[in-house]
Structure 1
Amino acid sequence: MPAAATAAGGPSTGGPSTGGLLRRVATAHPAYVWCFVGSLVLSVFSGQTSGLGLPVGPDRLLFGAGMLLLLLDPVAWRAGGRPRLRAVHVVMAATAALTAWSAAAHGTLLTPYGFFALLDRLVVPFLLLCVAPVVFATTARRDLLLRSLVLVGLYLELTALFEKAGPASLVWPRYILDPTVGIGFGRARGPFVASEAMGMAIALCAFAAVLGTARFRGGWRAVSLVVVVLAPAGVVLPLTRSVWLGTAVAVVVTCLVSARLRRWLPLVLAGGAVAVLTVLAAVPGLQESVTERAGTTRSVDDRSNTNVAALRVVQEHPLTGVGWVRFIEVSPDFVRQSANYPVTSVRIEAHNVVLARAAELGLPGAALWVAAALLGPAAAALRRPRGAEHGQWRLLAVASVCLWTFPVLLSPNPYPFPNFLVWTIAGIALRPHLVTGDLGSGGVPVRRGGSRP
């Protein structure tokens, strides 16, 4: 049997035995594909490796291994997956270089906080946009990613339900239930121990599950449907307004963009409303928590204070800012008591990513980051689709960008998994723009016209 048949998932000489099946699964995709998928999945635990009893994050090890294996694989770069140099690559490189220079100049590059913030907020998302078109070059690889996201979504949704409604004994890892770990205890925080990250991740995985219901059959379609049905509960339970707003806008915009989905919008909105009301009635105390969270003003006051302080920093340091991740250190010098709202916290990050970049990197750094976001995720959502499958991933990019925009504008948004996923989806949706050639489902090169060379 030719190797291409095995790579495509066809029969192999291993026979129907369990060992033969495992060998086919292991060899269905290059090792670097499994590394990137594993890294993305395990990044839900990023920053909490001590709670897992591990000395180093497995997601970081897998990402490094995936990059090394990809760079050493000549087939990946020769068989129709060669990147094209585009403006987004230049802008991302300039943004990363400026940020690294700022961190080095202000002594934060080699600090754990400064170094990992540089990786998680800039370098890794940018690299994922660059390599995603090559790593997920085939339909089979993209479906592998979708299945992984469906499983992650199911895990996160069940964890949210167990956190808020019980049984708490089913919550894993156990550090999630520790009030001294993370922020926002009392809300559904999941493995991120941060409610906004939890809500974003559930919403993104739910959008991926919607695509899964269209692409899969049998058991995988059933699991995807379960994730979609549980999504309203998963989005509500973290009690995060930026996620509520972002999810609602993402659903409406995505349906309006697609002529096929447009007619389903009233039914989708009605079904979502019924699901939310059911969750509010079924989970004890949730309605009171939602009402209290919807009316709270402290987080709004914190946002106003930090954003105004960031503007004062920009006025004083417009070209270079105060240095990478140094806003928390200097913010007490720039916070002023307002006549309209109290000062509740001063040593917190600016609650707007653009303002944070401007305060720490100067206006040039903020402009570069905005340009990267516009040429990357935003462009993925706006480009005209090429073919049915590309159109599906473009809709997923539309949903992810709409959701992502609100945490970007209303919080520091430092969370690895949701940010990594948004830039990965953008890279897949931008594949026709970022690389030359296409690959068939079995990894065989295919010309743009559709014929094999």
Structure 2
Amino acid sequence: MSALIAIFAVAAVVWGIIFTLRGSLLAGCVIYMVTASCFGPNFLTIEAGITLSLDRIFFVALVGVYLVQWRLGMLDPKPLTKIDGILFAFIGWLTISTFTHDWHVEGPGSTPIVQHLLNGYLIPLGVFWMARQARHTEQTVTLILAGMTAFGAYLALTGVFESLGMWSLVYPTYIRNPELGLHFGRARGPMIQSVSYGVYLGTCLLCVYLLRERMKNYGWAMAAMMGPLLAAAIFLTKTRSVWLGAATGLLIVLCLSLKGRLRIAVLGTAIAGGLVVGVMKMDAIMGLQREGTVEDTHKSTSMRGSFTYVSWKMFLDRPLLGFGFGHFVTSKLPYLGDRSVDMRLEDIRDYSHHSTFLAVLTETGLIGFALFLALLGGWAHAAWRIIRHDRAPPWVQRQGLLMLGVLGVVFWQMIGHEITFTPLDQSLIYCVAGVAVGLDAKARAKEREKATAAWRPPAGAELAR
């Protein structure tokens, strides 16, 4: 075993040196997300004073690659923008909120607060910055779309195999363990919970559509194979927010990329189909049979009302600063005895929040919530600018479409789930945002240079005067 570890270590060092000197940092960010999804703590942990896993080791190595490439001038630094300022202010406020409260407090079954901050925001911030400062070319960005498409094929097949009970074809093997993660019985992939799995499936579906344009002759054939496979896996998550997110993200991308009558036809068909399904199948959707009983499903739905009510009462008590990052689990307890409403508030006693938006509001107050909304809005605005830029090449515009599509995918997850406890979802969002913000910052810098050059007097003009 020690010999195998030594061989693996030597190979990792050699390939690490090659990647550092020749590889794309943006590709490294995508490889990190794949590693975090498939080879995280559930796959392998190493106790070395602190608990290490392959994804954490890879992230540290990726930061090292960034520093070396930055020192060698291999990156493409972009000027800071207001959006970057909002991001740093938001992360800074979360950090202040963490350490100005008792960050040692933990609720039942909750993630340690500092670990929550690290996993949900600091690691994704690192991914954002590396993706932002990497060199963006048509080749590297297209390879990223292709890589996410290939990853989507693996994820979709894994979900289908799970649902069919073909466990011998499911890898990593920890996916088969019902004691790990959540939502066993649904398609949940290596993330071992259906929400994060659905976020990646929805994003991969967008990548398939955007890559189709680049592949030209073979694009439609690839989309015809991958589209139904990904759609089937999304359906098998049996998670309403995942369905809504995938549909919203795809609809955004289709409406912004299609032109004329085709856009009207797609939009009209989508709206009509949604209304028909909503009217005819609403009872079946609300009473969807999943891993529990129908009663469990209705209880889960009613709990969301309890979360909303308790969050509102907490917000009224501390509207500006909130109760402290990560403190909802313990701070909600005094509010569960409220008998002025006909709601089963006690049902949420042992649970963390079920909404990212409400968690940010109750824990960090209006200051944190306003920064959070401004950040999401800033990312959407940056994406919109590069889509509408007259001289932006198609591969740049595709990144803007991907950013808006991903925001559509995660919007419904943030409404119905707290998606910041692990780095999986956040790293994906922040990586796509880093590319979009980087492309927008570079385009605006070039426009300023041209404007300055237009007003600069010709050489020798000052001397002639």
Query: Per the shorter chain, which TM-score range?
Result: 0.7 to 0.9
Q: Deviations over 1:213-262 (max 9, x none)?
A: 22237989866653322111111111111111122222222222223462
Q: Whole-Å Cα distance in 2 between the matches of residues 141 and 347 of structure 1?
A: 45
Q: How big is each residue's C-alpha offset from its partner over 1:257-302, in whole Å with a ceiling of 9 and x where there is no partner? A: 22346267279859x99xx9xxxxxxxxxx9659987994322222
CA distance in 2 between counterparts of 1:355 and 1:267 reads 33
Q: State yes or no: 1:73 paired with 2:69.
A: yes
Q: Is the 8 A contact 2:187 2:236 kept in 1?
A: yes
Q: Distance in 1 between matches of 2:430 and 2:375?
A: 11
Point out the structure with max Rg over C-alpha.
2
In the TM superposition, what is the alpha-carbon distance from 1:322 to its structure 2 partner? 1.7
- In terms of fraction of residues, the more helix-rich structure is 2
Aligned-partner Cα distance in 2 for 1:294–1:178: 25
Partner of 1:39: 32
Q: Partners in 1 of 2:355 and 2:267 — Cα distance?
A: 32
Letter paired with 1:37: V
TM-score, with structure 2 as normaliser: 0.76
Q: 1:351 aligns with which of 350, 354, 368?
A: 354
Among 88, 95, 100, the residue aligned to 2:95: 100
Q: Specify the code of the residue in structure 2 equivalent to 1:82.
A: P
**Residue 433 (str. 1) matches residue 440 (str. 2):** yes
Q: Is the 8 A contact 1:70 1:76 kept in 2?
A: no
Structure-2 change in CA distance of 1:179 and 1:233 (3 Å): same
Asked if the contact 1:83–1:435 (Cα under 8 Å) also holds between the matched residues in 2, the reply is yes
CA offset at residue 149 of structure 1?
A: 0.8
Q: Can you give the 5+ residue segments of structure 2 that lack an aligned partner in the other structure?
A: 1-14, 278-287, 452-465
Cα contact 2:382–2:436 (8 A) shared by 1: no
**Matched residue, 2:205:** 206
Secondary structure at the aligned position of 2:185 is classed as coil
| 348-357 or 26-35, which deviates more | 26-35
Aligned length: 406
Contact 1:319 1:362 (C-alpha < 8 Å) held by counterparts: yes
The 8 Å contact of residues 380 and 397 in structure 1, kept in 2 or not, is answered as yes
Question: Percent identity at matched positions?
Answer: 23
* Distance (Å, rounded) in 2 between the aligned partners of 1:176 and 1:193: 6
Q: How large is the RMSD of aligned CA atoms in angstroms? A: 3.7
Q: Which amino acid aligns with 1:342?
A: R
Listed one character per residue, the Cα deviations across residues 96-146 of structure 1 (whole Å, up to 9, x for unaligned) are 222112222223279862223212322233333333233251222212222
Gaps of 5+ in 1: 1-21, 277-286, 440-446
Distance 2:129 2:295 in 1: 39
- 1:173-215 deviations in Å (ceiling 9; x for gaps): 2222222211122111111111111112111111112222222
Q: In structure 2, how many angstroms separate the alpha carbons of the residues matched to 1:130 and 1:262?
A: 35
Contact conserved, 1:102 with 1:361, CA < 8 A, in 2? yes
> 2:57 is paired with a residue of what secondary structure?
helix
TM-score, normalised with respect to structure 1: 0.78
* Distance in 2 separating the partners of 1:266 and 1:316: 43
Partner of 1:424: 431
Deviations 1:289-339 (A, max 9, x none): 599879943222221111221222222222332222111122221233574
Cα distance in 1 for residues equivalent to 2:220 and 2:135: 21
Give matches, 1:224-239, under 5 Å: 225-239=224-238
Could you tell me how far apart the structure 2 residues matched to 1:38 and 1:253 are? 27
- Paired residues of 2:124 and 2:431 also in contact (CA < 8 A): yes
Cα displacement (A) at 1:31: 6.0
Q: Which residue in the other structure is 1:15 paired with?
A: none
Moved more, 258-267 or 55-64: 258-267
| Pair 1:433–1:57, CA change in 2 (3 A) | same
- 1:380 is aligned to 383
Q: State how far apart, in whole Å, the 2-side matches of 1:222 and 1:27 are.
A: 35
Provide the residue aligned with 1:17 in structure 2.
none
Taking the aligned partners of 1:199 and 1:394, their CA distance within structure 2 comes to 21
In 2, Cα distance between the equivalents of 1:225 and 1:136? Answer: 32
| Paired letter, 1:417 | L
Say if 1:268 and 1:356 are closer, same or farther in 2 by CA, change over 3 A: same
| Distance of 2:342 and 2:127 partners within structure 1 | 42
Farther off after superposition, 52-61 or 430-439: 430-439
